[in-house]
Amino acid sequence: MGDGRQPADNPGGAASGLWRQALRLTRETRRRPWDPAGLETRWTSGPQDGGLRVRISHPAETADRAVVLIHGVIVSGRYLTPLGAALSRDFPVAIPDLPGYGLSQAAASGQTLAEFADAAVASAALLGADHLSLVGNSFGAQIAIEAAIRHPETVERIVLIGPTTDPRARSLPRQYLRWQRCGPHEHPSVFPVLARDLLDVGAVRAARLLGVMLRDRPEDKLPAVRQPALVVRGEHDHVAPADWARFVARLLPDGRMTEIPSQGHMPHWSGAAAVASALRDFLS
């Protein structure tokens, strides 16, 4: 297991760009989705037919391999768009709004970790890819772990950004307090995006999904992940403290860890360039 630190983004001119993205993301609709440069919205079926909304990069041709970015528990793929745009310069990228999130329709059946894992893997079909690297943030890291175990023939490697849930904080009040401590280290432009995501999910479904997250025991599954794995945490991530992130990396048979300075639980939003730099060699 390696342990490295990656440089943070220069915040100079990036802040205004994040605010512009946040404004456009919070105002998008199924009829008028919005995507940053390098990405475009596709649907697994029609937008009114229960399909998933998936942002994909613009590959020159159908790709055999792709990178799938997986969002957290009450957020959609919107807050992953800065990282997706940065990675799209080098890789075919898919960013699904999983069932019930963002612009995607809710699944008819119950929403389980296995169903989310299968949907994340299936979203890469829009790129024609048969081999995937999965990058999950927070609850998305739990989905990536599940997908790696369920689809070992398809998933080649995984990245866990701020993985949940540390067993010492496996309750809603403790998770909330930890998340609040991350607030001062997140770029404020992400909060209107999260508010729109919560509005789309709805309070009842959000509570149910938080239960799915808290009942999962990723530490019991990590030894079964045979793919190379990279654990990424922001320096000021209180949801995924440093000792928990190191423990996750040690439990993985082929795990390593890197840290992004000056970032919180969502470094892929405000520190996308630094996270993309940390991921490029590993994903290649």
* 180 Cβ contact list (under 8 Å, min separation 6): none
Structural domain including 251 reads 3-283
**In whole angstroms, what is the distance from residue 116 CA to residue 120 CA?**
6
Q: pLDDT digit string (tens) for 139-195?
A: 999 999 999 999 999 999 999 999 999 999 999 999 999 999 999 999 999 999 999
Chain segment 208-263, per-residue pLDDT in tens: 999 999 999 999 999 999 999 999 999 999 999 999 999 999 999 999 999 999 99
Q: Are 20 and 36 in contact (CB under 8 A)?
A: no
Total domains in the fold of the chain? 1
**Sequence-separated (6 or more) residues with CB below 8 Å from residue 270:** 9, 11, 14, 18, 82, 186, 187, 189, 190, 263
- Provide the H-helix boundaries in 123-241: 139-150, 172-182, 190-201, 203-215, 218-221
21-52 pLDDT, tens digit each: 999 999 999 999 999 988 999 998 755 556 89
Strand 93-96, strand 53-57: pairing: antiparallel
Examine the pLDDT at 13 and tell me if it is beyond 60.
no
Q: Report the run of H or E that residue 22 belongs to, with start and end.
A: helix 14-26
Residues 6+ positions from 196 with CB-CB distance below 8 Å: 25, 26, 78
What is the pTM (predicted TM-score) of this model?
Answer: 0.93
CATH of the domain at 158: 3.40.50.1820
Please report which confidence band the pLDDT of residue 61 belongs to, taking 50, 70 and 90 as the band edges. low
Q: Is the peptide bond before 165 cis (omega within 30 degrees of 0)?
A: yes
Query: pLDDT-based confidence at 20, cuts 50/70/90?
Result: very high
Helix (H) or strand (E) holding 113: helix 113-122
State residue 159's pLDDT score.
98
Q: Sign of dihedral through CA atoms 207, 211, 214, 218?
A: negative
d(CA 128, CA 163) in angstroms, rounded, equals 28
Q: How confident is the model at residue 5 (pLDDT cuts 50, 70, 90)?
A: low
Nearest C-alpha neighbor of 98 from the set 7, 177, 178, 209: 209
Segment 102-123, tens digit of pLDDT: 999 887 666 899 999 999 999 9
Count of alpha carbons within 13 angstroms of residue 211, beta-carbon side: 9
pLDDT (0 to 100) of residue 1? 44
Nearest to 4 by CA among 214, 235, 181, 163: 235
